[in-house]
Structure 1
Amino acid sequence: MNHHTWDAYSKSYLNIQKNPATFQLTLMNMLRFEQADEILDAGCAGGQLHQYILQQRKKNCKLTACDFSMEMVKLASARMLKFLNNPLDGAISEISAQEIENVDLNSPLFEQNKYKVFQGDVQSLPQLNDNQFDIYISNMVIHLVENKDLALQEAFRVLKPGGKIGIVIPVVSGNLLMSTLTKCFIQAGLIKDMPFKPTDIETREDIINFLYKHGFKEIVCWNQTIPFDLFDIDDNYIFPQFREILDKASKEQVDQFYSLYKSEVQNRLNLNLPFTVEALSLIAKKPL
């Protein structure tokens, strides 16, 4: 997917942001981020947990973040400017489109608070130095990257010896929300099968071997399942890959899809169960 897809996704990011952030909270705890001197959030989207990190970090710890989408970078920047000016005023829902569009990406407040966010591709980060970071976090990003080997090479390069990496990728078979959307799209005649393959790293052994391949050691990997706060069929829960298909479909097909989707949501609620998303989380070290 290109920049434009994720730029468009930033407009509906509010409703989805807080769900996968649960994975990131677990990662940060396992990485003991409060002991780090410098942290990189690679593929930060709207910076859901940046306020939390700044509040809980070690004194003088630097937080750097990047995202493929400039609109996401603007969103994270606008949110953090609001927060740094007034810690009680950082809610994303209160940030206007104008504030996002006109945000000062080089605000002196960022430097004063040892915070930086920029547009960057995790496959190539020439903006960052070798051996720079104590922690590299990548939450629900690596599976979307075209060349995962390049991304891991860059992660290894920018980490200090002894630095730690934390990664989350989705488990395809455990993503009930995505499989339900896919089923509804197929039944509505919008697609024939899964519109994309989320990742070729699909098992615990795959991701562990992938990290070993790129030189990381002391690997700990676990499955984690989170509930997704989906109780209706709000448009904002349609992921970018599916949004592109709906935008090109006929009204009849779109209406059929939403009817099917609404029924699936109601069936799940009738079972007193949420939609769930499963992921593989991993932490590892760059050898000394």
Structure 2
Amino acid sequence: MNHHIWDAYSKSYLNIQKNPASFQLSLMNMLRFNEAEEILDAGCAGGQLHQYILQQRKNTCKLTACDFSLQMVKVAATRMLKFLNNPLSGEIMEISPLEIENVDLNCPLLEQNNYKIFQGDVQSLTQLNNNQFDIYISNMVIHLVENKNQAIQEAFRVLKPGGKIGIVIPVASGNLLMATMTKCFMQCGLIQNMPFKPTDIETREEMISFIKKYGFTDILCWNQTIPFDLYDIDNNYIFPQFKEILEKAPQEQVDQFYAFFKEEVQNRLNQNLPFTVEGLCLIAKKPL
């Protein structure tokens, strides 16, 4: 999936990202951000939790973030500048397209607060040094990259000896929201089967085996399930891989999809149940 798709999706993705952010909160608590000198958020999207990280870290700790999409980077930087200018005023999500477009990624205020963000590919982080970070965190990213092996090798490279990695990937079989969308796409004849499988890794054993290959030790891995607050049917909740299909489909089939999906959502609400998303969470160390 190319960066143009994610650029176009950057603003509405914040509505989805706030839910999987719960995975990242668990990781951050266990990674002990308050003890780190340098933290990397690899694949940060709209920087949903950067203000939280800044509040948890030491004042001298540097937070570096990157994302494949330049537009995502701009959204994250704009939100962070709003937060830094006045942490107690206004809703941080209320940022205009003009603010995003004109944001200065090298603004002195970001540097003064030990915050740096850039467009970068987790498969090749040439902008970063060997043995640079105490913590590498990547939430719902590794499954999206073309070369997962290279991405983890880069994570190992940029971590200091004794540094910790914290990653989350979705479990396809435990993603009720994605499964429901797929079912509705199939019902209206837009697809024959699942168009996008997040990853071949579905179990703790597979996840642990995967990370061990690159030299990581002291591994903790667990399944975690979170609720997804889907109440409104709009494009904000249509994932990019599905949105591409809808954009090319006849209007009649698009309308059918939304009708089917609305019915599924209503059925869930009638049971007083949210949709749920499952993730595999992992923490490990780079040996000393």
TM-score by length of 2: 0.98
> What one-letter code is carried by the residue in structure 2 that aligns with 1:95?
I
Whether the 8 Å contact between 1:83 and 1:90 is mirrored in structure 2 is no
Matches of 2:175 and 2:221, distance apart in 1: 18
> What one-letter code is carried by the residue in structure 1 that aligns with 2:69?
S
Matches of 2:277 and 2:113, distance apart in 1: 34
- 56 and 90 in structure 1: CA distance in 2 versus 1, 3 angstrom threshold: farther
The Cα shift of 1:89 comes to 4.0
Superposed, 1:205-284 pairs within 5 Å as 205-284=205-284
> What one-letter code is carried by the residue in structure 2 that aligns with 1:195?
P
**Residue number in structure 2 paired with 1:96:** 96
Q: C-alpha deviations, 1:111-158, integer Å up to 9, x for none?
A: 110000000000000100000000000000001111011000000000
The Cα shift of 1:90 comes to 6.6
**Residue number in structure 2 paired with 1:170:** 170
- 244 and 273 in structure 1: CA distance in 2 versus 1, 3 angstrom threshold: same
**Residue number in structure 2 paired with 1:151:** 151
The Cα shift of 1:232 comes to 2.5
Q: C-alpha deviations, 1:57-97, integer Å up to 9, x for none?
A: 11200000000000000000111111111112473431000
Q: Is 1:182 matched with 2:203?
A: no
| Identical positions, percent | 81
Whether the 8 Å contact between 1:62 and 1:115 is mirrored in structure 2 is yes
- 20 and 36 in structure 1: CA distance in 2 versus 1, 3 angstrom threshold: same
- Per the alignment, in what secondary structure is the counterpart of residue 83 of structure 1? helix
**Residue number in structure 1 paired with 2:115:** 115
Matches of 2:157 and 2:90, distance apart in 1: 33
> What one-letter code is carried by the residue in structure 1 that aligns with 2:10?
S
TM-score by length of 1: 0.98
Moved more, 178-187 or 88-97: 88-97
Superposed, 1:69-84 pairs within 5 Å as 69-84=69-84
Whether the 8 Å contact between 2:164 and 2:283 is mirrored in structure 1 is yes
> What one-letter code is carried by the residue in structure 2 that aligns with 1:51?
Q
The Cα shift of 1:17 comes to 2.1
The Cα shift of 1:225 comes to 0.3
Runs of 4 or more above 6 Å deviation: none
**Residue number in structure 1 paired with 2:132:** 132
The Cα shift of 1:258 comes to 0.4
Task: Report how many aligned residue pairs link the two structures.
Answer: 288
Q: Is 1:87 matched with 2:65?
A: no
Whether the 8 Å contact between 2:74 and 2:105 is mirrored in structure 1 is yes
Whether the 8 Å contact between 2:79 and 2:93 is mirrored in structure 1 is no
The Cα shift of 1:56 comes to 1.3
The Cα shift of 1:51 comes to 0.4
Matches of 2:261 and 2:26, distance apart in 1: 31
- Per the alignment, in what secondary structure is the counterpart of residue 211 of structure 2? helix
Q: C-alpha deviations, 1:201-249, integer Å up to 9, x for none?
A: 2211111011110000000000100000001212210000000100111
The Cα shift of 1:44 comes to 0.1
Matches of 1:105 and 1:227, distance apart in 2: 33
**Residue number in structure 2 paired with 1:48:** 48
> What one-letter code is carried by the residue in structure 2 that aligns with 1:110?
L
- Per the alignment, in what secondary structure is the counterpart of residue 94 of structure 1? coil
> What one-letter code is carried by the residue in structure 2 that aligns with 1:270?
N
- Per the alignment, in what secondary structure is the counterpart of residue 93 of structure 1? coil
Indicate the RMSD between aligned Cα atoms, in angstroms: 0.9
Matches of 1:84 and 1:279, distance apart in 2: 31
**Residue number in structure 1 paired with 2:196:** 196
Structure 2 unmatched ranges of 5 or more: none
